[in-house]
Amino acid sequence: MDMPVDRIEFETMLLGRHMSLLTSRGGGRLDRSAYILLSRIRVQGPMSIGQLHDAFGLDTSTLNRQTAAMLRAGVVDRIADPDGGIARKFVITDEGEHRLDKDRAENREGLQRVLAEWTPEEAARFADDLARLNRDIERLDGRPWPRD
């Protein structure tokens, strides 16, 4: 089957670029890594560096730098493992919850402006296709994202 892989690659590259253009450049926005890590911790609950490594496949040194920046920003705290394990875990602070909610709301508002001319059916179909693309990527990567 002849798949339009070149177009999909090109359009996903542009999508990544355009997503950052949908939102303001004002202060207080989370950086991309903090946004993604906080989103995962919110869904999964407190996570250790080892669990973040397993979830994202990132080097421990990269995760240490990212989580240190998040600690300095006050968006996470380190806590004892609620399950009694040895490793300390990262948990979202009230400030982290607030900033994540604020950024997500701004992202949704930007997308709503883009999709203003779309029918609800077109938007739902696009959301389903994006979810399928992400699930297939996760299947190949072996790191599924927890979904509700």
Query: For 93-146, what is each residue's pLDDT tens digit?
Result: 999 999 999 999 998 998 999 999 999 999 999 999 999 999 999 999 999 999
Residue 1's pLDDT band, with cuts at 50, 70 and 90, is low
pTM for the model stands at 0.87
pLDDT-derived band at 92 (thresholds 50, 70, 90) equals: very high
Phi, psi of 89, rounded to the nearest 5 degrees: -125, 160
Give the whole-angstrom CA distance, residue 112 versus residue 95.
26
pLDDT tens-place string over residues 43-75: 999 999 999 999 999 999 999 999 999 999 999
- The secondary structure of the chain in percent helix, strand, coil, rounded to multiples of 5, reads 65, 5, 30
